[in-house]
Structure 1
Amino acid sequence: MCPTSPSASIFGINTVHRMSLQSALIGFLISRMLPTPLTPQQIIVVQTTAVATGTMPLAAGFVGILPALGLLSEERDGTPPIHLTWLSAVGWSCSVAFFGVFLSPPLRKQVIIEEQLAFPSGTATAQLISVLHKLPPPDTSIRSRRGYLHLDTEDDSAEPTGRSPSSPQPIDTETDADINEREFVQHEGWHALTYSFLASSIMTLIAYFFPILFSIPLFGNYLAKEWLWTFTPSLSYVGQGIIMGFPTAVSMNLGMLVGWAVLSPLSKSQGWAPGAVGDMTNGARGWILWTSLAIMCADSVVSLFPVVYEYFSDLYRAQILRRGDSSSKEDHEVETEDRLVPYTWVTAGLLISIFVGTILVWVVFGNEGIKPWATVLGFILGGMLSVLGVRALGETDLNPVSGLGKISQLFFAWIQPGNVVANIIAGGVAEAGAQQAGDLMQDLKTGHLCKASPRAQFLGQMIGSSVSILVTATAYSLYTRAYPIPGPSFPAPTAYVWLSLARLLRDGQLPEKSGVFMFAFAIVFGLVSASKTYAARRQSPIAKWIPSGVAFAIGFLNTPSFSLARLVGGIMDYVYRTRYARDGNDISLIVVASGFVLGEGVISVVSLVLRTFGVGVISCWGCGHGLCGGCPAV
């Protein structure tokens, strides 16, 4: 069985910050059942709290960093595997839970208020909330500046500063499409969400007792057992494919075909990967991992070039302007002081989170794991990387944390060479800030457009992060007791990425011939990423059809079953939007997709409880390929 894992969102590329839309939608539906429905601003605070809670498993590395530490080998790495107890997991979560939250207010000031970056998912959520609550459409005009996407190009009278024109928008701006959308959500959306939730729940529960349902051999048991070609008809995966969209799903499946239908057989037949295909040490899966890593690094670095260039260009232009007229700086903040987060909170919070976080990391991992000064540098690097990650997210809707994580590992390989544990932990600390600040910024964009209080959102983020510490640590401890991680049900492919790069940076040894393919694919996808970035900044319609390097690489990391089900969802999304959708903002299918994801997520917790209490499968019929979770390999 393959229930929705804590790592499910990372396979969906953008689904973490797309969770904002789902949280707002579900919050609205539940709010309709209350005696006094929540206001739009209250819905946004609820949504912000939910996203802060859901971000923690990724930000704290429960799908990458901690499984990577569990894969350590004393013979190869000089240290035994590190498995955190529940209390240690709580301590680690506390160490990284709040740094990104305290980074959010100053980053909001820069990228949302001053630069007015697009943040497409946050803007889409604001538009949805406006439709549902009969509000005028949010003003999404942004500063006319080279390289920025324009969400509102019809209003040529916008002031050069990028602020709204002086004349207010008319209140009566509802279109027939807006009315139809709201009526669907209010009258049909709840039923669609309920039915899709029940369908996914029932299917997931049946698959727990009959695991073959989620591990169907595509081309017979031989190809399933020897080459890992199975199909997982998980409705959660289908829902994630709907949410990520057809172009991203296609990119992932192209990567899956190249990795598992071409490079995997090639490496095995040529003797470069002599072990079992699924072996991450000397098998084909471990061999193609390196090509995936090269693609991710090339794509992330190339896509960050424009962001870095514009960032330093802005700094240079700001210096010129200050020299010319130091009194001409204009504050574009639209909120009153009582609704903003005081900078005394920000300063004190950052200092305390760094100090306490460093102490906790030292207590959890010891002086042999990582030196305190390296942890402090990790927090500082995380702050700097957050600026790049948030700007990239604001312009492209993609937070390149995978590339930022590699940058942090390269940095710590230089300042603390030879220590695999320190490389992983310090890199994880740096990545956590960038991950958390980026995902929370989408909600701050929504709040800005819909006039929610930034201070209320900040408090919601603090509450969500605090609650998630206990929830995430408890869930992880229970999952690790019930399932092997990495394992058939929870492969945690990013754990191998972290560990493999740390080992490479330490000893420089690559599997045979993998370096040639890494170089070739890095060149190709460097050019592909450059083309995609150029097309996106030119607002070319072909940009979305140019393959995503990160999505392509994730197709390598996961076995075919993970990508194929998402392709089904991507195709459903494409067909629906081209043939049946009422307009470009139709969210009917998103409602169904949300039910799919939620249903399997809830039942995965139920199955975890069943497994913990020793309730196993009913039948292992058909599981001769040995890839069914809960069934012994045959």
Structure 2
Amino acid sequence: MARRRAQEEEDDDEAEESVEQVFEGREVPGWREQVTARALAVSALLGAMFSVIVMKLNLTTGIIPSLNVSAGLLGFFLLTSWTKLLAQAGFTGVMPFTRQENTVVQTCVVACSGIAFSDQNPLLTDASINPAGGFGSYMFAMSERISEQSGETWDPHDIKNPGLGWMIGFLFIVSFLGLFSVVPLRKIMIIDYKLIYPSGTATAHLINSFHTPQGAKLAKRQVKTLGKFFAGSFAWGFFQWFYTAGEGCGFMSFPTLGLEAYRQKFFFDFSATYVGVGMICPYLVNASVLLGGVVSWGIMWPLIEQKKGDWYPPISNPAASVASSATGYVFVSIALILGDGLYNFLKVMTRTVTALVVQVRGMMSEPTLPISGGGGESLPAAEETFDDRRRTELFLKDQIPNTLALSAYLVIAVVSIATVPHIFHQLRWYHVAASYVIAPVLAFCNAYGCGLTDWSLATTYGKLAIFTVGAWAAASDPDGSGSGGIIAGLATCGVMIGIVSTASDLTQDFKTGYMTLASPRSMFVSQVIGTAMGCVVAPSVFWLFYNAFRDIGLPGSEYPSPNALVYRNMAILGVQGLGSLPRHCLHLCIAFFAAAIAINLARDLAGARAAAYIPLPMAMAIPFYLGPYFGIDMCIGSLVRLVWDRLDPARAKAFAPPVASGLICGDGIWTVPQSVLALAGVKPPICMKFLSRTANAKVDAFLHS
């Protein structure tokens, strides 16, 4: 066994030296043969499946790990099976399944399911994911349900409830501009600047490995493992459903650490989803989430609870007082998010500008400048390898006309400027136009920075739009009340995220295509098709959740959608200013904002070994509103992964992602039949609830009376 593993590792090392020599004898299909009907059919199936999974994660905690491994594995398995079945059935002329077609499926699936994302945290998600949908953040934050939790004075001009028609229309208007804005820069980013794009590169390595004999065998075993845990997780979700006939019933309300700890949201809720998430996310992320839960629900909220009647009006119900304080003091978590975002924004932008200046200076000293055009040849570097030459040749073969991209951007921008104000009457045409003037510059910066660091700052730009456009719209309100500024800020956030994030998405795809010899045209077309699918699938999935689970967005519900309240409060702060904060909240916000910057600075100044023990402020902020229960789930997943890594590191590296993906996917897909049952009025038959000994005695006495 040891000899076989050593031989496999040696073979992998040889393949790493020249990947393209392994595939040298295989013909590369044209771009039309890469974007096949079967690839699009599989992409639609997997895109819908992953949209459901992402939406569930999105509306619970907002922590969404990268599902690229799952998408790649399942795409490879389905298309390989499809090809073999047709061949066995006697069909002639069946096209072989190629890595270029696999890349198209991967791109299309991620583009489709990415629309369902609401926020993007590079620590927790894959940096190539598009968070344009905003169903758990800026879009749902416009609703009356979230407005009621924010404690603001109700204003119909600052409310826009979800509607399937306007959500689909809005996404179609704003989700394609970023694709066209970055097309003219494709050659500069990938060939001339040789940007790394770690996520795109990792995806390419994964796809390339699938199409080697050793990789295909491993992929089959990984798919089988994923399927087993998918079935187990789905069955576990179905089993739990029988015991959730009332509020606070079921295993998700199991007081595993005691009733007092349960009241402060410290318990294990038997969630297969977040155990799986914990197995994928880095140990530091999981520990930071749990630490944030301890700081907030173990220390901060109990102390604020003691100040009722002093800092805020007294409320008789203790649970309600926590929720009430959260409507104001939840700005503390926003301060953590903004402090972390500002620090990393400045850090990434500094690196981006510095690297860009060095690149430009180096190229200014060359005889010719790199121009991203039709078929221009770039100067070969002295250290250019066989792989580089082969990939550059194929990458420059099928070009996308820059005139087409620029013309499409202008046409869509004009249509958007005319139509978005009709969807959101609080916005004026010049608000949208200003966004489209600034967005291409930000899109370039985001795509370049993502290529260097794998960090996308799309939501940071979106949050800046909330503050700037929200305040701008409020200041221009005729009656001076600032009415409509909240919706204007949130809508512009969606516009900005939709443009900036898709720019980095497409450049990531170009990098993946470059390394798998997939045509730039097939990458662009599959991204466009996947985005179009997502613009219909993601709102439909959200609409299913919204109608099936009537308490969606409410604190304490199965789907509290915490990011929606965070975004709503950001918009309120942008419109009303710091004077809207409750007593002493500003002091707490300043302290936590400064702490986020100090922690990040300490991480960068400390060595790599010490930085592994310094928490992540963004991850710490997540449980401030929800509680630490899902952090406990994630840490249990981390513990499983840690033990597995110690006992059998090679097997853990190969099979932990499929196991985790199976847990996440099975539990996520269970929500579809659960939603159908809820819409049909079918209710669970049993309520399993836990009471204290005193409460149980009272219940028994009441039943016997």
Which residue of 393, 415, 434 corresponds with 2:450?
393
Deviations 1:286-343 (A, max 9, x none): 3452121111111111112232223333554566567666735483765455423322
Q: Distance in 1 between matches of 2:439 and 2:638?
A: 33
For the structure 1 residues 130 and 318, does the alpha-carbon distance in structure 2 shift closer, same or farther, using more than 3 Å as the test?
Answer: closer
Deviations 1:560-594 (A, max 9, x none): 2222212222222233233322179x231101111
Q: Distance in 1 between matches of 2:178 and 2:665?
A: 26
The 8 Å contact of residues 444 and 457 in structure 1, kept in 2 or not, is answered as yes
Q: Distance in 2 between matches of 1:355 and 1:471?
A: 25
Q: Distance in 2 between matches of 1:587 and 1:15?
A: 21
Match of 2:368 in 1: 327
For the structure 1 residues 558 and 501, does the alpha-carbon distance in structure 2 shift closer, same or farther, using more than 3 Å as the test?
Answer: same
How is 1:279-294 mapped onto 2 (pairs within 5 angstroms)?
A: 283-294=324-335
Q: Shift of residue 106 of structure 1?
A: 4.1
SS class of match (2:153): helix
Which residue of 275, 292, 316 corresponds with 1:238?
275
Deviations 1:33-85 (A, max 9, x none): 12355211111110000000011122121111222111236834453631132
How is 1:215-234 mapped onto 2 (pairs within 5 angstroms)?
A: 215-221=253-259, 223-224=261-262, 226-234=263-271
Which residue of 515, 520, 530 corresponds with 2:591?
520
Amino acid at match of 1:215: S
Deviations 1:2-48 (A, max 9, x none): x95615159888846x2223211221222331235521111111000
Q: Shift of residue 430 of structure 1?
A: 0.9
Match of 1:148 in 2: none
In angstroms, what is the RMSD of aligned CA positions? 3.0
Amino acid at match of 2:596: F
Match of 2:78 in 1: 30
TM-score scaled by length of structure 1: 0.82
Deviations 1:529-561 (A, max 9, x none): 2333456xx8x3544443222111113243222
Q: Distance in 2 between matches of 1:610 and 1:320?
A: 63
Which residue of 575, 578, 589 corresponds with 1:506?
575
The 8 Å contact of residues 61 and 432 in structure 1, kept in 2 or not, is answered as no
Which residue of 609, 617, 633 corresponds with 2:676?
609
Amino acid at match of 2:67: M
Q: Distance in 1 between matches of 2:456 and 2:402?
A: 25
Q: Does 1:411 align with 2:486?
A: no
Match of 1:430 in 2: 496
SS class of match (1:607): helix
Name which of structure 1's ranges 301-310 and 212-221 shifts more when overlaid on structure 2. 212-221
Name which of structure 1's ranges 383-392 and 347-356 shifts more when overlaid on structure 2. 383-392
Q: Shift of residue 216 of structure 1?
A: 1.9
For the structure 1 residues 99 and 496, does the alpha-carbon distance in structure 2 shift closer, same or farther, using more than 3 Å as the test?
Answer: same
How is 1:41-440 mapped onto 2 (pairs within 5 angstroms)?
A: 41-58=100-117, 59-70=132-143, 71-72=146-147, 75-77=153-155, 79=157, 81-106=159-184, 108-134=186-212, 179=214, 183-186=217-220, 188-211=221-244, 212-221=250-259, 223-224=261-262, 226-271=263-308, 272=311, 274=314, 283-314=324-355, 316-317=357-358, 327-329=368-370, 331=378, 334-366=393-425, 369-417=426-474, 418=482, 419-440=485-506
Q: Shift of residue 353 of structure 1?
A: 2.7
SS class of match (2:81): coil
The 8 Å contact of residues 280 and 286 in structure 1, kept in 2 or not, is answered as no
SS class of match (2:622): helix
How is 1:455-604 mapped onto 2 (pairs within 5 angstroms)?
A: 455-483=521-549, 484-487=551-554, 488-508=557-577, 509-533=580-604, 540-582=608-650, 586-604=653-671
The 8 Å contact of residues 210 and 619 in structure 1, kept in 2 or not, is answered as yes
For the structure 1 residues 337 and 184, does the alpha-carbon distance in structure 2 shift closer, same or farther, using more than 3 Å as the test?
Answer: closer
The 8 Å contact of residues 334 and 566 in structure 2, kept in 1 or not, is answered as yes
For the structure 1 residues 324 and 437, does the alpha-carbon distance in structure 2 shift closer, same or farther, using more than 3 Å as the test?
Answer: closer
Q: Distance in 2 between matches of 1:623 and 1:382?
A: 53
Q: Distance in 2 between matches of 1:109 and 1:15?
A: 31
Q: Distance in 2 between matches of 1:41 and 1:107?
A: 22
For the structure 1 residues 88 and 213, does the alpha-carbon distance in structure 2 shift closer, same or farther, using more than 3 Å as the test?
Answer: same
For the structure 1 residues 120 and 311, does the alpha-carbon distance in structure 2 shift closer, same or farther, using more than 3 Å as the test?
Answer: closer
SS class of match (1:79): helix
Name which of structure 1's ranges 348-357 and 315-324 shifts more when overlaid on structure 2. 315-324
The 8 Å contact of residues 63 and 495 in structure 1, kept in 2 or not, is answered as yes
The 8 Å contact of residues 289 and 620 in structure 2, kept in 1 or not, is answered as yes
Structure 1: stretches of 5+ with no match in the other structure: 136-178, 626-634
SS class of match (1:416): helix
Q: Distance in 1 between matches of 2:563 and 2:688?
A: 31
Deviations 1:108-130 (A, max 9, x none): 44443333333333222222222
The 8 Å contact of residues 427 and 473 in structure 2, kept in 1 or not, is answered as no
The 8 Å contact of residues 181 and 406 in structure 2, kept in 1 or not, is answered as no
Name which of structure 1's ranges 66-75 and 19-28 shifts more when overlaid on structure 2. 66-75
Share of identical aligned residues, percent?
24
Q: Distance in 2 between matches of 1:545 and 1:350?
A: 45
SS class of match (2:351): helix
For the structure 1 residues 11 and 543, does the alpha-carbon distance in structure 2 shift closer, same or farther, using more than 3 Å as the test?
Answer: farther
Q: Shift of residue 447 of structure 1?
A: 2.0
- Larger Rg computed on CA atoms: 2
Q: Distance in 2 between matches of 1:11 and 1:454?
A: 36
The 8 Å contact of residues 470 and 487 in structure 2, kept in 1 or not, is answered as no
Amino acid at match of 1:6: M
The 8 Å contact of residues 296 and 402 in structure 1, kept in 2 or not, is answered as no
Q: Distance in 2 between matches of 1:375 and 1:571?
A: 48
Count of aligned pairs = 570
Amino acid at match of 1:548: L
